[in-house]
Structure 1
Amino acid sequence: MDLPSSPPRQRTPGRAALSNPDNRFDRITAEGVDDGWHMDDDLPVLRTSVTDEVPRSVITRNTSPDISFDRSINPYRGCEHGCIYCFARPSHAYLGLSPGLDFETRLIARPDAPALLAKELRARAYVPQTIAIGTNTDPYQPIERDRGIMRQILQVLSDFNHPVGIVTKGALISRDIDILAPMAAKGLARVGISITTLDNATSRAMEPRVPLPAARLRAIRQLTDAGIDVRVMVSPIVPALTDHEMERILAAAADAGAVAANSIVLRLPREVSGLFRDWVEQTYPDRAARIMARVRELHGGQDYDPAFGTRMTGQGEWARLIRQRFDLAARRLGLARHLPPLRCDLFAVPPQSGDQLSLF
């Protein structure tokens, strides 16, 4: 079902969403009306606020049949990167906040996540499997530079020899090569870097606080030079806007050292549909109708079809052509679809203060 968004507003500097629609759980909604008072003044910069949260647990489990991991960690809720297409935006509604500008500006940090993680890994019943980080909101978004929660989580995982797969658009990940490289050498870590476009203007419009494409390519080179396998993620592919760049993105990533690749087509769940539609109509009015028509073609006539198996690949002729182009380019460039699983057999609970040492 396509949910309505609030009327589009003037673009806020440094933000992608044009509005702050009511979340789907609100009992009271607000509707904008034209009262005749037109204000042409520029909008002020919308500052980011961060609230700390202490969750009861930090490892989230999932049983989705089309996802390759069964557990994940999110150091932050909301994401200052502000990607207009982000499928995680609707999760902000569970906090009583809007998936629009609130998602980009009212963030939740989990400073106790590293300690909670260590506690969960020490549980007798815990069975290690690769933990995915960055599959909902980006662990290397701008506030990580000051908060450092992701770095502390990596240190805990390193201490336990626990496998981790990271997905990010943040070039800040290069800061943590000193932790990731030794883990990768043991078969415990790999990274996915998402690149949607190589065009700076398109990137800045769609993902206003994400490092520019060249910075992400440099991060791929730095990681691979340190012995860390990197997968380039051409995600999302936006039909009639970025799909023509797919082969060039793959080639640039391969040149930077990426060893694997995958792709996901644009998906617009819940409130993201209205937010994206408002954005594309204002940002690319000459092709907005064509973009949205292609999106609906990919998802069975809807802005989004949540069916497992096709929600990330799309369906129909256009989806088939995209997959064909991707596979041909990836094979030509030597980019793998699948990599060997990370190791779980090295997992070991490190001793802590007060533990009794074994005599034998």
Structure 2
Amino acid sequence: MKRIILICLTRLLIAQEDAMTLELGFPSGIVIDKKDNVIFSDRRLNKLFRLDQKSGSITVLSGTGDRSFSGDNGSAKNAALSIPEIIYMDQNGDLYICDRGNYRVRIIDAKSGMIRTVAGTGKFGYSGDGGPALAADLSNPFGVTLDEKGNIWIADTENHVIRKVDRQTGIITTEVGSGESGFSGDGGPAKQAQLQRPHVLSFDKSGDLWIGDSFNNRIRKVNIKTGIINSMFGNGEKASSPDGSDARKSALGFFGTLLFDQDGNLVFSEIIDARVRKIDLKTGLLSTLAGNGKSGFSGDAGPANKAQLGMPYGIAFDRNYNLYIADAQNGRIRRVDARTGIISTIAGNGQGD
């Protein structure tokens, strides 16, 4: 009996060590599933990983490691990806991937483990509105999310638009952006507004769409019922304002992820300014959840807002409100404890690829 326990314990320790010794390349997107497993993409390794927090073991969900395209309608484990960026998990556990280098959005079915393309031809371009999403050209899609009806919304970044794939018909349409790079349109129809490389997007509880309009350094909202767009936060300056600032008048950094916490506050990562920040939607005030604004690596086992991050891309919350960060340049996945505010590394040795 003692021998069995010892063997099991030894295996567990080895698995936990694997998570901490794994060399990650550039982790970008991140989600947490219903079992609190951490699923993340690595755009340099061209893979998706799953970290079992109970055992500490890491497995490859998708990606051969080759930066190419293959594997549709087969096992996701045998598929090739190219610069996978933001990922999104729906209520069924299906995983949506912005396969940016393949100019596609793909989905991994939770039950079968099969992968398929839901949007994009694999060609860089802008075409296909009003037709099947599989016949549409995309240009470096970076962000993806779903609305309450299950329609797929894509940040078609280099086309400067947000596009929607109808869940029932598979038809793609441009819903936000004229396709011309720039800044305009507040107070008017979202389809006529100018965006500049929008990277990330998220829906709030009211069903309205929020967009990280990255190169305009603004967070904008589209009222889905009226189709009207407005800038909500950010003054357009390429900087990052201090805590306590009114986010409506503040400089905001380049966005890596945009989402809402359990209290309905807006949380986003600033890639260049190396912080994860929160905007209280009741007061409009800005605060920092993680990162001291100086790019680098430090701070494990200490307060998250005093730690250094390196180009934080993906962020996610688990059901206990712990915060997870794809600390991309540091090649690590880090976690901020919701109760204590302490940050720690849970995967990656920081050595890179």
Larger CA Rg, structure 1 vs 2: 1
Same fold, TM exceeding 0.5? no
TM-score of the aligned structures, taking structure 1 as reference length: 0.29
TM-score w.r.t. the length of structure 2 is 0.29
Relative to its length, the structure with more helix (as a share) is: 1
Tell me which protein shows more strand as a share of its residues: 2
